[in-house]
Amino acid sequence: MKSLEYYMNLPYTIIIRQNSDGVYEASIAELDGCLSHGDTLGEAIKMILDATRCWIETNLEAGDVIPEPDQQYFEEVIQLYDLHLVNQNQPHQAVSQISVIT
């Protein structure tokens, strides 16, 4: 069985959207139901990484299959939603309402 750290080091697709009230909603495209939010972009990233760890840990303990990132899926999501890429190491550069961080 693959470890929690194995999965945490994979490049999952993080989708972040800023709501009209200014709150940032974050989700992991490949992990159904892995969601979080934050008052700032940095907080949303921190919270979704924590939620990802909890999601994977819970599913590993249950013996469930953990999806791994898929480049083709990632490219389809980008095209479908006309998203803009943001470098995870420089999240302050996000300028659009919807961003994908890999």
Could you tell me the domains of the chain? 4-101 (3.30.160.250)
Give me 95's structure tokens.
Answer: 């300028």
Instruction: State the pLDDT at residue 95.
Output: 32
Region 72-81: mean pLDDT is: 72
**Overall average pLDDT of the 20-28 stretch:** 93
**Who's near 88: CB < 8 A, 6+ residues apart?**
14, 45, 101, 102
Q: Is the pLDDT of residue 99 over 50?
A: no
Q: What local confidence, expressed as pLDDT, does residue 101 receive?
A: 47
